[in-house]
Amino acid sequence: MSFLVDHQIKKAIEDGEIKIDPFDPKHLAPAGYYVTLGKDLLIPKKGETIDIGGDRNPEYRKVQISQKGHTLKQQDFILGETEEILTIPYNYAVFIDGRSSLARLGLEIHQTASFIFPGHTESIITLEIKNSGNSNIVLRSGVQIAKLIFFRTDEFATKGYKDIGDYAYQPDITGAKIKNNH
């Protein structure tokens, strides 16, 4: 297993192994690629009790980020999406990580789901966004919000995420799927 650096990521994109749409070469980092926040957010219903072994999915309200942005208050949690649609083959995997500058404000972009499996296909990435800071934070669509860290595995996976994933082929933001997930 090896992590990819900027020129390796660019070559994998040029060779069609990795697909990022839209792709912007200015978003290449020394060992990653910066992704931007999409326009849609899901706001979980407050006070709802969720049984993770139950048969009911949580409720969300879908909103679009306006020109003025979306204010994320202290301790608020929402779901966001990347503008980019990602496809990786069965011998690549990805970690998504926050940006240091935004983390210093208390902005988290994933709670525990930082790993993207081999075979992730034609899907946005859902971001689990939380403001753990002491100030309100204004989110804006199109802002670089996270980085993707690519690595090539030693072998091809026998099954890809597109074959088994609950959120495979996710064209836009999707809330938690609890129902029938046990």
Q: Please list the active-site residues.
A: 128
In angstroms, the first-to-last Cα distance of the chain is 31
Tell me how far CA of residue 58 lies from CA of 44, 100, 172, in angstroms.
7, 31, 17
For the chain, the C-alpha Rg in angstroms (whole number) is 17
The whole-angstrom separation of Cα 51 and Cα 67 is: 36
